[in-house]
Amino acid sequence: LAVKRPVFYLAHPFKKRDEVRTLYQPRLAALVDVVNPFDRPEQAVYDDALAGQGLTARMCRDIVQTDLDSLDRTDGLVALLLADNMIGTFMETMHVVDCNVRGPGKPRPIFSYTPRSNEREHPWIRSLTTVCPTWISLEANIMAWCNAQRQS
């Protein structure tokens, strides 16, 4: 009997997306299936808009709805806290927190990779997520969660 690989949403700052795609995403994909919100067919259209007049209100609604739908189909979230401006990353994280609190269903894990101490020490991050200051600790926490799921 094949065991379904868990699927994790990879929340991260827009400005770090190339670094995430080449450095972090492949390492995470060795452990779980990964949903990267910037790996979507229409991303080139959004990039063109951002380089020009900016996103339209419709584009903003579509981005948010697509991200929420993706989040709701995943088993957990990994938040890469890598930059100063991470509003989307925090909004995605809070969506999963809200789903965990309000249900229905089993709460999903939220792992925060926090190589920078200012995020690592923040009360909201410490209270609502599993803080992982190193990549090794992130991998260990994800693997422990995956093993616990297989045993339940």
- Would you give the DSSP letter of residue 106? P
- The answer to whether residue 14 scores a pLDDT higher than 90 is yes
pTM of the model: 0.94
Rounded CA separation 108/134 (Å): 21
pLDDT of residue 103: 83
Rounded CA separation 34/32 (Å): 6
Tell me what percent of the residues of the chain surpass a pLDDT of 70: 98
pLDDT of residue 105: 84
Strand arrangement of the beta sheet that strand 130-132 belongs to: 33-35, 7-11, 76-80, 110-113, 130-132
Higher confidence at residue 104 or residue 114?
Answer: 114
Rounded CA separation 147/137 (Å): 15
